[in-house]
Copies of this chain bind each other. A is one copy, B any other.
Amino acid sequence: MNYFVIVDVTLRKGIADPEGSTIERALPALGFTGVTNVHAGKSFRFDVEAESEAAALDKATSLAQRLLSNPVIEDASARIGER
């Protein structure tokens, strides 16, 4: 069966996030106040052919940690998504 999986890749705590910082600094000048702790991340959406939801998640998690993220600076997590 085909499962739709979403992988979220975020920077680990303590790792500098220049994209997030730049957005946060720019927001007040663009009319948005009260927005803080901006963090930028990546996401990947794909279909996984597997026998069960658990098997699909296992495969996606392994793929995410080995190929879609840099485990030194990033966290990756996989979840079943809605199309």
Contacts and interface: CB of A to CB of B under 8 A. Distances in A.
Contacts of A44: 20, 23, 38-41
Q: How many chain copies?
A: 2
Nearest to A9: B43
A45 B34 contact: no
A36 B46 CA distance: 6
Number of chain A interface residues as a range: 20 to 34
Interface of A: 2, 8, 10, 20, 23-24, 26-27, 30, 32-50, 59, 63, 66-68
A67 B38 CA distance: 13
A34 B50 contact: yes
Given A23-B67, A27-B63, A67-B23, A47 B36 contact: yes
